[in-house]
Amino acid sequence: MTYQARTKGAIESPCVNICVIHPDSRLCAGCLRSIDEITGWSAMTPEARREVMAELPARAPRLSARRGGRSGRMARRSEQG
């Protein structure tokens, strides 16, 4: 997966507007950044942001599949009989 930088003003960002923090990895499911990286993004130097962006593709495997919430529970119940 290749992350294209989105520019908001003069600041590059990997944000894809899917802002959900994964409960196990504590990474954003959309951009794969940590809370600290997200909140400090505008204060980071361009070099620091590029370093984080270079690390993002390697983080994707850290997101385990979610169980599906209510619809997942209902499906599991129907499978159990």
Residue type, 78: S
Question: Which residue is it, tokens 């409960």?
Answer: 23
41 or 71: which carries more pLDDT confidence?
A: 41
Task: List the domain boundaries for the chain.
Answer: 6-80
CA distances from 15 to 2, 51, 78, 79 (A): 13, 15, 37, 37
Q: For residue range 5-54, what is the model confidence (pLDDT) as tens digits?
A: 555 555 689 999 989 998 888 999 999 999 999 999 999 999 999 999 99
- With a cut of 70, say whether residue 65 has pLDDT above it: no
**Residue 81 · residue 73 · CB < 8 Å:** no
CA 26 to chain centre: 9
Residue type, 18: I
